[in-house]
Amino acid sequence: MLGPGIPFYLGVASALFAIGLTGVLLRRNPLIMLLSVELMLNGTNLALIAFARQHASLTGQVFALAVIAIAASEVVVGLGLVVAMARKKIDLDIDVLSRLRR
Amino acid sequence: MIAVGAWICLLSPLVAALAIALGANRFSRKATGYLATGSTAISFIAAILALGATLDRPESERSTVTTAFVWLGTHVGSIDLALLVDPLSLVMMLVVSGVGSLIIAYSIGYMDGEEEERRYFAYMAIFVFSMLLLVESANFLLLLAGWGLVGLSSYLLIGFWHERPSAVAAAKKAFIVNAIGDAAMMLSLFALLQHTGTLDFAAVFAQAEGLGKHPALINIVALGLLAGALAKSAQIPLHTWLPDAMEGPTPVSALIHAATMVTAGVYLIVRAHPLFEQAPYVQDAAAGLGAATLLGAGLIALVQTDIKRVIAYSTMSQIGYMFLAAGIGAYGAAIFHLMTHAFFKALLFLGAGIVIHALGGEQDMRKMGGLRKRLPRTFACMLVGTGALVGLPPLSGFFSKDVILAEVFSSGTYGKVLFAAGISGVFLTALYSFRLLFLVFSGEESEPARKRLTKHAGAEGPGWMTRPVAVLALLAIGGGWLEIAGLWHPFSTFLDQVAPPLVGAPSSAREWLLSAGSLGIALGGVWVAWTIYSARTQPAPRAPKALVEKLYFDRAYDLIFYRPAVALSALLRTLVERPVIESSEREIEAQTLTAGRLVTLTQSGLTRSYALAVAAGVSVIVIFFLALR
Amino acid sequence: MSAGNLLVWVIWVATAIICVGSALAVVIFRNPLFSALALIGNLVSLAVFYLLLSAEFVAAAQVLVYAGAVMVMFLFVIAYVGWETDVAWSGGPSWQTLGGITAGAAILAELLVVIALKAGGQLSQVQDVGQAFGSPRSIGRVFVSNHLLAFEVISIVLLVAAVGGVVLGVQKRRAEQERST
């Protein structure tokens, strides 16, 4: 294989994952939290593709496609919730939403 | 047959007690009385059957052990749920169930109308069961169980009228003094168990001689058993609870504190005589304490004003005689006197109960007098009882007391000393018991008597009360005829297999001489009582302070034991309890609250915090796995 | 190093910088619009990575589906909702902030450690792949043979999501109509 070896790709994937995780933990806007979750998913995807290349097995790519599909579905539902919250004029703040449960 | 009889005898009152306890209000008050009486009567019949079956057997085979199951088996021995039916236990079973059923029948009349009648009969049934357990047990452990249960029943019954603080205090006193004896007895049992590996009577007694080779051990064992006996039988120095126990209803005093429970100590000494014989000093101590109690109680009885207390001290004194006999090894005589004493003492108590009942609760003899005209039949029965107590022939007490005196006289120098005490006791007994009789029944009718007796015109009391008294009077008359010294002694022969006396039967001539002598002294005492008390015209002689203070025992115990204990506990309260225990209670409470508050912090309800927790957890776990590789 | 290799390396480094940089941008920007745009950049750079890894079909799907459809949906919603920024991080860094940064750093460190540990051994053996690896034909063939179940399940999930989206939207409209009457 030309270019950097698998470990490098995995390093980038780890970085994406960690950055996404930090975003989920630190940001309060649900939209940005969703974006961070997407980041994490993408990091995972990259790792999957890298491994698929390493083992010359298409299973990894199939899994990555599945992840993309699932991510899309999850975004649909999440955004639907955000829109519902916006309609009810609720603050888009995850901490406020957590307290709303009570 | 014997086994069946023994078990039915034991369990019948227990069944009744449980039925009354569980049945609560479903049984009418009268029904519980009948139930209790009936079950005790069944016990009596079962005991008779067992007796008959035992008599059928040859003399050497009269000891039967019936085991329900092995409870604790070791490689050395075992402790079982087992009953022993032999002449000694049969005599006790018959006395307990026979006199017990008469007294419980009497209670139906005496406790009629009581608010908590059912509780009373349940307690009485439990008591009879406990006492039977005590006398039927085949090993020391069951005996101890029965011992403790009779103590409990006594406590419950003394404090029956629990709204009265004096009754509650008396119950506590009885229980605590008994507990001292119980503790000493338990230590003995521990020692026995350790050295013989068993608590079974037969096994232990077989090893008695071996134990005798260790004087320290056997003396400790015997001493502990003696302490238990002293406490239960209210002998000096553990006697202080018995007079106070008169706070309970009169039938209770009759059954527990005259006829049966207090005689348990005598039973124990006779039963464990192989052990005592190996510790002769302890046996001598038992006899000596019996003599001391005999005299002391007799003296105190002279100055008592409460009718029941006189009879209580009389009981103490008579048990002193039994201890005297057992202490010198005259076991048959001791048990014989136990039996006759049960008859006439119960008779006296129940008769006193009729008097009290007729006077509406009055127990002070100074307020009584001249009741002979109103309660003639009661007077007759009380006369019989008193005569038996004093030892006038041909009443039962004459035979039993004289055997004791004769055998005491013939057991060495120490025996002569004890005999002197015993003979003086005869004088005192005659004096105080006829004093009671004269104060209550003779002379002019006293004011309170006249006022109250008008209610009970006619019968002297309900039939349930008078008839058992009559039966007891008959027993008091004829009960002694089982053993006429020198002529026929089926009773002592019966007991000899179990408890062979250490003292040989005295020669007839000597015995007749002694009988005549003691009879003379007794009559002398009667005469003195008659001169002083019968006419009731002279004021009663002033009582010496020492006697009124019951020989200062209560005061001494208060000073030596009670006050220091109270002071010590007050001291500990300030030094230990407040700073350590109460403050630690507060601290624990405060710390728990703080810890709880800390934990609450984790439950913020914020999604992000939970997410953080997840992330943190994951990272820790990954580190963990990395480290593992 | 051959020229081809060098070229790949250069592309790789550039793409990696864009990728990580845009990821940081997603997390750091206050305005969700800018975050979404940064994510689009991230997705495109990832597509380049996929191409480098012989996953052509996935790269195409990434751009079309993810960057094309999903992110556009995001942008629509952001436009609708408005881009009020996050409440400013008032006061000092809270437990949550510190904890979040620590957790993220910890996980990154752990992952890198694992990769480093394995870099010399298992991760260095790369198998050769043919030209057709990652082509739509191969993917399609795999979908209808080995991973048929996955294919079907994904379809169902997408269906459910579509239905869910419609339901969420319809309910709100009906509720709005009730409120306005």
Nearest to B270 by CA among B87, B421, B403: B87
Question: Which band of pLDDT confidence, cut at 50, 70 and 90, is reported for residue B605?
Answer: low
3-state secondary structure of B364: strand
**In C, which residues are within 8 Å of B619 by CB distance?**
103, 106-107, 110
Nearest to B422 by CA among B270, B497, B320, B490: B320
Q: Domain for residue A29, yes or no?
A: yes
Greatest C-alpha distance within chain C: 74
Of C84, C105, C126, the residue that ends a domain is: C84
Q: Domain for residue A1, yes or no?
A: no
Yes or no, beta carbons of A98 and B606 under 8 Å apart: yes
Q: In angstroms, what separates the C-alpha of C24 from chain A's closest C-alpha? A: 7
Hey, what are B432's tokens? 């105080």
Nearest to B494 by CA among B51, B65, B6, B137: B51
Average pLDDT for B307-318: 91
Helices A59-87 + C148-180 axis angle, to 10? 10
- Omega cis (within 30) before B394: yes
Q: In angstroms, what separates the C-alpha of C181 from chain A's closest C-alpha? A: 17
Average pLDDT for B350-376: 80
Give the pLDDT score at B410.
77
Q: Domain for residue C95, yes or no?
A: no
Average pLDDT for B616-623: 85
**In B, which residues are within 8 Å of A25 by CB distance?**
608, 611-612, 615
Question: Which band of pLDDT confidence, cut at 50, 70 and 90, is reported for residue B455?
Answer: low
Nearest to B321 by CA among B227, B237, B401, B415: B401
| Between residues B575 and B336, the one the model is more confident about | B336
Residue C176 structural domain: 147-181
**In B, which residues are within 8 Å of A28 by CB distance?**
608
Yes or no, beta carbons of A101 and B608 under 8 Å apart: no
Question: Which band of pLDDT confidence, cut at 50, 70 and 90, is reported for residue A82?
Answer: confident
Q: What angle do CA C90, C94, C95 make, to 5 degrees?
A: 165
**In A, which residues are within 8 Å of C58 by CB distance?**
45, 49, 61, 64-65, 68
Total domain count, chain A: 1
C6 touches chain A (CB under 8 A): no
What is the share, in percent, of chain B residues with pLDDT greater than 90? 20
CA distance linking residue B384 with residue B395, whole number of Å: 8
CA distance linking residue B245 with residue B253, whole number of Å: 7
Average pLDDT for C77-99: 68
CA distance linking residue B277 with residue B274, whole number of Å: 5
Nearest to B194 by CA among B168, B224, B165: B224
Lowest mean pLDDT among B90-94, B450-454, C110-114: B450-454
Give the pLDDT score at B354.
86
The DSSP code sequence of A38-76 is HHHHHHHHHHHHHHHHHHT-THHHHHHHHHHHHHHHHHH
Nearest to A80 among C53, C119, C168 (CB): C168
CA distance linking residue C46 with residue C63, whole number of Å: 9
Give the pLDDT score at B418.
86
A55 touches chain B (CB under 8 A): no
Q: Which residue of A has its CA nearest to B606?
A: A98
Which residues, including other chains, have CB under 8 Å from residue B282's CB and lie 6 or more apart? Answer: B219, B222, B223, B226, B276
Nearest to B605 among A21, A25, A101 (CB): A101
Q: In angstroms, what separates the C-alpha of C33 from chain B's closest C-alpha? A: 22
Q: Which residue of C has its CA nearest to A86?
A: C81
Q: In angstroms, what separates the C-alpha of A17 from chain B's closest C-alpha? A: 12
CA distances from B380 to A10, B387, B469, B473 (A): 117, 10, 11, 9
Hey, what are B404's tokens? 């004791």
Q: Which chains touch C (3 or more CB pairs under 8 A)?
A: A, B
Nearest to C115 among A14, A35, A73 (CB): A14
**In C, which residues are within 8 Å of B612 by CB distance?**
96, 99-100, 103
Give the pLDDT score at C61.
92
pLDDT at B490 over 80: no
Q: Each residue of C28-77: pLDDT tens digit?
A: 888 888 999 999 999 999 999 999 998 999 999 999 999 999 999 999 98
Lowest mean pLDDT among A36-40, B181-185, B528-532, C15-19: B528-532
pLDDT at C90 over 50: no
| Between residues C66 and B364, the one the model is more confident about | C66
Residue in this structure with the two tokens 């890298």, named with its chain if needed: A50
Q: In angstroms, what separates the C-alpha of C93 from chain A's closest C-alpha? A: 10
Give the pLDDT score at A38.
93
Q: Each residue of B42-80: pLDDT tens digit?
A: 999 999 998 888 888 877 777 778 888 888 777 777 788
Q: In angstroms, what separates the C-alpha of A37 from chain B's closest C-alpha? A: 12
Beta strands per DSSP E along B3-115: 64-73, 78-85
**Interface mutation target, options A17, A28, A95, A100, chain B, most CBs of B under 10 Å:** A95
CA distance linking residue B366 with residue B359, whole number of Å: 13
Total domain count, chain C: 2
Nearest to B275 by CA among B209, B216, B333, B183: B209
State which of B497-511, B512-526, B543-557 shows the largest mean pLDDT.
Answer: B512-526
Q: In angstroms, what separates the C-alpha of A90 from chain C's closest C-alpha? A: 11
**In C, which residues are within 8 Å of B609 by CB distance?**
96
**Partners of C159 in the beta sheet?**
none
Residues 19-38 (A) with a CB less than 8 A from some CB of B:
21, 24-25, 28
pLDDT at B321 over 60: yes
3-state secondary structure of B139: strand
Lowest mean pLDDT among B28-42, B613-627, C43-57, C162-176: C162-176
Question: Which band of pLDDT confidence, cut at 50, 70 and 90, is reported for residue B266?
Answer: very high
Nearest to A23 by CA among A45, A43, A9: A43
Q: Which chains touch A (3 or more CB pairs under 8 A)?
A: B, C
Q: Which residue of B has its CA nearest to A23?
A: B608
Which residues, including other chains, have CB under 8 Å from residue B294's CB and lie 6 or more apart? Answer: B317, B318, B320, B321, B324, B421, B422, B425
A49 touches chain B (CB under 8 A): no
CATH code at position C39: 1.20.120.1200
Q: Domain for residue C54, yes or no?
A: yes
Give the pLDDT score at B229.
93
CA distance linking residue C135 with residue C60, whole number of Å: 10
CATH code at position A11: 1.10.287.3510
Q: In angstroms, what separates the C-alpha of C143 from chain B's closest C-alpha? A: 33
Q: Domain for residue C62, yes or no?
A: yes
Q: In angstroms, what separates the C-alpha of B627 from chain A's closest C-alpha? A: 20
Question: Which band of pLDDT confidence, cut at 50, 70 and 90, is reported for residue A41?
Answer: very high
Give the pLDDT score at B586.
84
pLDDT at A36 over 90: yes
Yes or no, beta carbons of B607 and A24 under 8 Å apart: no
**Partners of B484 in the beta sheet?**
B488
Average pLDDT for B192-208: 84
CA distance linking residue B117 with residue B464, whole number of Å: 15
Average pLDDT for B166-175: 90
Average pLDDT for B303-312: 88
**Interface mutation target, options B603, B604, B608, chain A, most CBs of A under 10 Å:** B608
pLDDT at B140 over 80: yes
Average pLDDT for B311-324: 91
Question: Which band of pLDDT confidence, cut at 50, 70 and 90, is reported for residue B448?
Answer: low
At residue B289, φ and ψ (nearest 5 deg) are -65, -40
**Interface mutation target, options C89, C96, C111, chain B, most CBs of B under 10 Å:** C96
Give the pLDDT score at A65.
93
C79 touches chain A (CB under 8 A): no
Query: B132 and B85 in contact (C-beta within 8 Å)?
Result: no
Q: Which chains touch B (3 or more CB pairs under 8 A)?
A: A, C
Nearest to A22 among C104, C129, C157 (CB): C104
Q: Each residue of B222-261: pLDDT tens digit?
A: 999 999 999 999 888 888 888 888 888 889 989 887 778 8
Q: Which residue of B has its CA nearest to C115?
A: B626
Hey, what are B443's tokens? 């002379």
CA distance linking residue B422 with residue B407, whole number of Å: 11
Q: In angstroms, what separates the C-alpha of B591 from chain A's closest C-alpha? A: 29
Mean pLDDT of chain B: 83
**In B, which residues are within 8 Å of C100 by CB distance?**
608, 612, 615
| Between residues B226 and C86, the one the model is more confident about | B226
Q: In angstroms, what separates the C-alpha of B169 from chain A's closest C-alpha? A: 60
CA distance linking residue A41 with residue B462, whole number of Å: 100
**In B, which residues are within 8 Å of A24 by CB distance?**
611
Yes or no, beta carbons of C107 and B623 under 8 Å apart: no
Question: Which band of pLDDT confidence, cut at 50, 70 and 90, is reported for residue C91?
Answer: very low
Give the pLDDT score at B129.
94
Give the pLDDT score at B437.
87
B contact set with A (CB within 8 A): 605-608, 611-612, 615
Yes or no, beta carbons of B608 and C96 under 8 Å apart: yes
Hey, what are B567's tokens? 């002071």
Yes or no, beta carbons of A28 and B608 under 8 Å apart: yes
DSSP state of B359: T
Residue in this structure with the two tokens 């007098």, named with its chain if needed: B369
C contact set with B (CB within 8 A): 96, 99-100, 102-104, 106-107, 110, 113-114
* Domain residue spans of chain B: 1-182+230-271, 283-539, 554-628
State which of B403-412, B434-443, C63-72 shows the largest mean pLDDT.
Answer: C63-72
| Between residues B110 and A48, the one the model is more confident about | A48
Question: Which band of pLDDT confidence, cut at 50, 70 and 90, is reported for residue B576?
Answer: confident
